[in-house]
Chains A and B, each alone.
Chain A
Amino acid sequence: MGGTSQVAAAGSIARRASVRRRQRTSWADRNFPRLAVLPTMALMLLVFGIPLLFSAWLSTEAWSPDQSLFGGTFAGIDNYQDLVTDPDFTGTLVLTLEYTAAVVAAELAVGLGIALLLNIDLPWIGLFRTLLIVPMMITPVVAAFCWKLLLDPDHGVVNYFIGQHIVWLGRPDTALLSVAVVNIWQNAPYVAILLLAGLRSLPHEPVEAARIDGASRLQIFWHITVPLLRPYLLVALLLRMIFEFRSFDNVYVMTSGGPANATMLMSMYTYMASFVRFDLSLGAAAAWMMLLISLIMTGCFIAIVRRREAN
């Protein structure tokens, strides 16, 4: 009897204490979570959200920079119609999708290869891990113009090594390849880091069990490592797709979209329309086409992240 009342008394003291504490918490404390996200929300809305909405509006206007901000006339879907019926734009769209697919495939293949090698525990492996990620830290514009020098037809070291005189950036077929190689060179190490982190976190048991059962290295790789690594591969795939789709810097420096539009990727097209021809309405329409495609990829990416958070 005495024990229960004691517990009850202790409980009521605790309750009273917590009531007192709740009364004591200030307005700032109660709203801390909301106050903490407020600046982020405000900034993103002002500098990101409003421009996005503005560009949606701009893309339905016939507007030129010499007019006042809201001085354009309504053009409906004319800008979009112009884009879709412009063979330059549709060509750009197809080229960008093909380029993205090819470059991302190469980055994943090379990145996975590097990650598998770096995952082997050997003396000095840390040194290789450090050295191999250097290319991804190089400023893309600098990387692009350095490669421009390496690929120079007359004095470039690449032509010296292969003993031929190839005008890499002057021919439609090799120009796109050159731009792609620079991106692969810079980003395969990034894929490698992502996949290496994945490999490090995989459980050892399935591999051990398969080895005891007499599976070969190749069998273990295809039937155990790759399926276990799938979520990481998927994340790397989507991230790289999203980022390759917008490739700009090396195209701008190396080829400016040429020769004969062979490297005219969508970012470059939008840039040319907006800031070279100064048709900002058309640029906004092109930008929104890019946004929609990016949103689809982002949607897939977020679905994966959410599913993983739910687990």
Chain B
Amino acid sequence: MRKRSERLAVYAALILLTVLFLFPLVWIVGLSLKTRLQVFASPPLFLWRPTFENYVATLSRADFGQAFLNSLLVSAGAVSLSLIVGVPAAYSLARFRFLGRNVLFFALLSMRMLPPIAVLVPMYVLFSAFGLTTTRTSVVLAYTTFSLPLVVWIMRGFFEDLPRELEESAWVDGASRLQAFVHVVLPLIKPGLVAACILCLQLAWNDFLFAAVLTNNATRTLPVLMAAFSGGDTGVDWGGMTASGVLVILPVILFSFAAQRHLVAGLSSGAVKG
């Protein structure tokens, strides 16, 4: 139906946009594959023999390894805690009517919308009073409070889309509510779980603010280390900085691509279905 020239124009616009949006990232990956001399070559090099020396150097740094491990532990902790606590709540909110159900849901939703810094100030004071600051636990707790509303919001939508008859027939067959939930409902909403999992993971892996305040040199996560690398002057080790940056963003991007369909469904379900 569309004319050939029109289609070409659309492709041209799309390619231009993609180049514009991806160029910064491509350039950074390029920098990470250059030697120190090549990084500062003037005019900049557009073709060169890539070197992996920056990656080798980054991966052999002790602080990078420690921060990577911290990020992994904290993210895994926050994701599992959010899902274990949040998914049953979402199911309950989607399926059963009880007093305070709407109030609870909208209270959760508004907590998601509040600025993190506003909660961080008192959290910091209270956590230090209980000796929790500089521990990974404190960061896990902080992330969980921010991803819980997200989990409940997304999963509620997925549960509502599921036909009721399935678990009702399980109840009739004598299954308890919990059994029906675990054995009948959960296997059916795997896509929703994947979406919720990725979004929580992004939240925990990418956060800087909470980790910056609540961790120390031993427990800091990757974004905090990255900010320390780039603090003040950018220095001369651009290769090392960009290589570590690429290593930080790579896991989330790969993970998101692997489950892209679910991710888009999850991202838009919250906002579109309400």
The answer to whether the Cβ of A275 comes within 8 Å of any Cβ in the partner chain is: yes
- B56 within 8 Å of A (CB atoms): no
User: What are the interface flags for B177-199 relative to A under an 8 Å C-beta threshold, 1 for contact and 0 otherwise?
Assistant: 11000000000000000000000
In the complex, are the beta carbons of A39 and B85 less than 8 A apart? yes
Q: Assuming A51-B126, A139-B249, is B108 touching A40 (CB within 8 A)? A: yes
A33 CB contact (under 8 Å) in B17, B98, B230, B234: B98
CB contacts (< 8 Å) of B96 on chain A: these are: 32-33
Q: Is the CB of A155 within 8 A of B252?
A: no
Nearest chain A residue, comparing its CB with the CB of B230: A145
**Could you tell me if A137 and B117 are in contact, using CB atoms closer than 8 angstroms?**
no
A112 interface residue per 8 A CB criterion: no
CA distance A290 to B271 in the complex (A): 23
- Rounded to whole angstroms, the CA-CA distance of A295 and B114 in the bound complex is 7
**Does A47 contact B123, Cβ atoms closer than 8 Å?**
yes
| Cβ-defined contact, B21 with A134, below 8 A | yes
> A249–B44 contact, CB under 8 A?
no
Which residues of A lie under 8 Å from residue B106 when comparing CB positions? 302, 306
- B89 close to A39 (CB less than 8 A): yes
Given contacts A55-B122, A239-B271, A270-B121, contact A294 B113 (CB under 8 A): yes
Contact of A155 with B40 at beta-carbon distance under 8 Å, contacts A37-B89, A139-B206 already known: yes
Q: Considering the complex, which residues of chain B in the window 219-250 have a beta carbon less than 8 Å from any beta carbon of chain A?
A: 222-223, 226-227, 229-230, 234, 238, 241-242, 245, 248-249
CB-CB under 8 A from B111, the residues of chain A are: 44, 48
- Give the residue name and chain of the A residue nearest to B19 (CB): A131
* B residues near A39, Cβ cutoff 8 Å: 85, 88-89
Residues of A within 8 A of B177 (CB): 28-29, 32
A201 to B230 CA separation, bound complex (whole angstroms)? 43
B141 engages A47 (CB within 8 Å): yes
- Once the chains are docked, how many angstroms separate the CA of A149 from the CA of B230? 9
Q: A34-B98, A130-B260, A138-B25 are in contact. Are A146 and B242 (CB under 8 A)?
A: yes
Neighbour of B121 across the interface among A266, A284, A302, CB < 8 A: A284
A28 to B129, CA, bound (A): 37
A155–B10 CA distance with the chains assembled, in angstroms = 34
A235 contacts B by Cβ under 8 Å: yes
Judging by beta carbons under 8 Å apart, are A51 and B123 in contact? yes
Which of chain A's residues 7-35 have a Cβ closer than 8 Å to chain B? Answer: 26, 28-29, 32-34
| In the complex, residue of chain B having the shortest beta-carbon distance to the beta carbon of A284 | B121
* A-side contacts of B248, CB under 8 Å: 139, 142
16 A-B pairs (CB sep. < 8 Å): A33-B92, A44-B107, A130-B260, A132-B17, A132-B21, A139-B208, A142-B223, A145-B227, A149-B238, A149-B242, A155-B39, A193-B267, A196-B268, A198-B272, A266-B115, A295-B114
Identify the B interface with A (CB < 8 A).
2, 7, 10-11, 13-14, 17-18, 21-22, 24-25, 27-28, 31, 39-40, 42-44, 85-86, 88-89, 91-93, 95-96, 98, 104, 106-111, 113-126, 128-129, 141-142, 144-145, 148-149, 152, 176-178, 202, 205-206, 208-209, 212-213, 222-223, 226-227, 229-230, 234, 238, 241-242, 245, 248-249, 252-253, 256-257, 260, 264, 267-268, 271-272, 274
